[in-house]
C-alpha cells in the first residue's frame, strides 16, 4: 500500500498543466505556466491532508526549457531527496520537452527514491483538464513501495525516463514508450507495473556537471530530401562541438550532410546519427563512418553527446 506518512515534495516548472486561458473552451490559446504549483495542489481535493510540500521553481512554457533550469531542477530535486522525511519528488512540467528533462535527470541524478514527472495537454482552465488526474497519479506512484528512479506519469500510464517520447501534438494520449512501451499503468489509484523499476546508470559527467553556461554546444540537424551541407557547416561555425543528425530510416544521412560531417569531424566536432523515425533507433555497425546513437532519439542523443563531451574534458 501507499506510504501515506512520508512527505512528498512537488516541484513546479510550468507547462500546460499550470496553464490558463481566457476562455474555458480555448485549448490552444492559453498561457503555459501561469499558475504556481502551490495553486495546482490547492485545487486538488484528493491531495488534501497529505504530507506534501509544493515549490514553484519556474513557470516556463517547456518549449523554452533551458540548461540553467535543468541544472537548478537537478539540484533542487537532489536536495529534497536527501531529506530523510521525503519519500520522493514529483515534478510538474510542460509536455513539449518532458522527454528531454526526464532523460537529463535519468542520466545525471542519483535517485534511490522516486522522481516522477508529470504534465498535461489541457490547461488548468479547460472544462475537463487532464492535469489533476496526472498529478494525483504521480503522487500515488511516488508513495508506492519500491518506487525509485526517474519515471513519468501521464494519461494513466507510467513511463521510464529513458523511454518517453511525445507522439501527438494535441491529443491527451500524447506520449508513447517507444519499443519498450510503458513501464506500467495507474488504475484507480493503484500502480500495476509490467516490469521492474529500471536501473539508472549515471553518466560519468554527472559528478562534475559544472556551470550550464559552459556545457558543450550540441545541436540537432535533420537529414531530408534536398539537405544542404552548408547548414551543418554553419552550426560548426556557430560553435557546435557536437552535432546529432536525425537521419532518415535506420539513420541514413544525405550525402551532402555526410560530406559536411566529415569536414566537421576534421575540425574536432563529434557527429552522431540518430533516426527521425519515431521507433527503432539506429542499428549501426562498427565500420560506420558516422557512429550511431543506438536506441536514443535525437533529443536524447543530444543530451548524451553533451554529457560525453563534458566527461571528455576531464
Ligand atoms: N507548450 C506547452 C509546454 O510544453 C505544452 C504542454 O505543456 O502541453 O509547456
Is the CB–ligand 1 distance for residue 119 below 6 Å?
yes
Query: Ligand 1 center to residue 96 CA distance, Å?
Result: 5
Nearest atom within ligand 1 for CA of residue 61: 9
> Quick check: 32 and 116 in contact, CB under 8 A?
no
| E strand intervals along 51-163 | 52-60, 86-92, 114-118, 149-154, 157-160
Query: Ligand 1 center to residue 88 CA distance, Å?
Result: 24
> What do you get for the CA distance between the two ends of the chain, in Å?
45
Contacts of 69 (CB under 8 A, 6+ apart): 13, 57, 58, 60
**CA nearest ligand 1 atom 3, residue:** 94
The dihedral formed by the CA atoms of 50, 193, 154 and 282, expressed in degrees to the nearest 10: 140
Is the CB–ligand 1 distance for residue 95 below 6 Å?
yes
Per domain, the residue ranges of the chain are: 7-193, 211-312
pLDDT score for 285: 84
Q: Strand, helix or coil at 241?
A: coil
Query: Ligand 1 center to residue 87 CA distance, Å?
Result: 27
3-state helix, strand, coil in the chain (%, to 5): 30, 25, 45
The number of helices, as runs of H, and strands, as runs of E, in the chain is 7, 13
> Quick check: 8 and 139 in contact, CB under 8 A?
yes
> Quick check: 117 and 106 in contact, CB under 8 A?
no
Instruction: Output the tens digit of pLDDT for each of the chain's 314 residues.
Output: 677 779 999 999 999 999 999 999 999 999 999 999 999 999 999 999 999 999 999 999 999 999 999 999 999 999 999 999 999 999 999 999 999 999 999 999 999 999 999 999 999 999 999 999 999 999 999 999 999 999 999 999 999 999 999 999 999 999 999 999 999 999 999 999 999 998 878 999 999 999 999 999 999 999 999 999 999 999 999 999 999 999 999 999 999 999 999 999 999 999 999 999 999 999 988 888 899 999 999 999 999 999 999 999 98
Is the CB–ligand 1 distance for residue 62 below 6 Å?
yes
- 8-state DSSP, 126: S
Cell of 39: 495553486
Which of 3.40.50.150, 3.40.50.40, 3.90.230.10, 1.10.1060.10 would CATH assign to domain 211-312? 3.40.50.40
Equal fold, 7-193 vs 211-312:
yes
Contacts of 237 (CB under 8 A, 6+ apart): none
> Catalytic residue numbers?
16
CATH class of the domain at 7-193? alpha beta
Query: Ligand 1 center to residue 122 CA distance, Å?
Result: 9
Residue 23 exposure: Cα atoms within 13 Å on the Cβ side: 5
pLDDT score for 286: 83
**Other Cβ atoms within 10 Å of 309 Cβ, number:** 18
pLDDT score for 111: 93
pLDDT score for 247: 98
> Quick check: 221 and 213 in contact, CB under 8 A?
no
Amino acid at each position: 500500500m501507499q506510504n501515506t506518512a512520508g512527505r512528498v515534495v512537488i516541484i513546479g516548472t510550468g507547462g500546460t498543466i499550470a496553464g490558463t486561458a481566457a476562455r474555458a473552451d480555448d485549448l490552444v490559446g492559453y498561457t503555459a505556466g501561469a499558475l504556481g504549483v502551490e495553486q495546482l495542489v490547492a485545487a486538488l481535493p484528493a491531495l488534501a491532508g497529505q504530507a506534501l510540500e509544493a515549490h514553484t521553481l519556474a513557470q516556463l512554457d517547456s518549449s523554452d526549457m533551458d540548461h540553467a533550469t535543468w541544472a537548478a531542477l537537478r539540484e533542487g530535486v537532489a536536495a529534497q531527496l536527501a531529506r530523510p522525511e521525503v519519500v520522493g519528488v514529483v515534478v510538474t512540467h510542460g509536455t513539449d520537452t518532458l522527454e528531454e528533462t526526464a532523460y537529463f535527470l535519468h542520466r545525471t541524478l542519483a535517485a534511490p527514491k522516486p522522481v516522477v514527472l508529470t504534465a498535461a495537454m489541457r490547461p488548468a482552465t479547460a472544462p475537463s483538464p487532464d492535469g489533476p488526474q496526472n498529478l494525483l497519479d504521480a503522487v500515488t506512484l511516488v508513495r508506492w513501495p519500491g518506487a525509485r528512479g526517474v519515471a513519468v506519469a501521464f494519461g494513466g500510464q507510467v513511463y521510464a525516463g529513458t523511454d518517453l517520447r511525445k507522439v501527438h501534438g494535441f491529443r491527451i494520449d500524447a506520449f508513447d514508450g517507444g519499443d519498450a512501451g510503458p513501464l506500467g499503468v495507474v488504475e484507480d489509484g493503484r500502480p500495476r507495473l509490467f516490469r521492474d523499476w529500471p536501473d539508472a546508470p549515471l553518466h560519468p559527467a554527472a559528478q562534475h556537471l559544472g556551470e550550464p553556461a559552459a556545457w558543450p554546444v550540441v545541436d540537432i540537424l535533420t537529414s531530408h530530401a534536398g539537405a544542404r551541407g552548408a547548414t551543418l557547416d554553419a552550426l560548426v561555425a556557430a560553435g557546435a562541438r557536437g552535432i546529432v543528425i536525425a537521419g532518415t530510416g535506420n539513420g541514413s544521412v544525405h550525402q551532402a550532410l555526410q560530406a559536411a560531417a566529415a569536414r566537421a569531424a576534421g575540425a574536432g566536432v563529434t557527429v552522431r546519427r540518430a533516426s527521425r523515425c519515431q521507433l527503432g533507433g539506429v542499428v549501426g555497425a562498427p565500420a560506420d563512418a558516422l557512429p550511431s546513437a543506438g536506441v536514443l532519439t535525437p533529443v536524447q542523443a543530444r543530451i548524451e553527446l553533451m554529457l560525453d563531451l563534458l566527461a571528455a574534458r576531464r
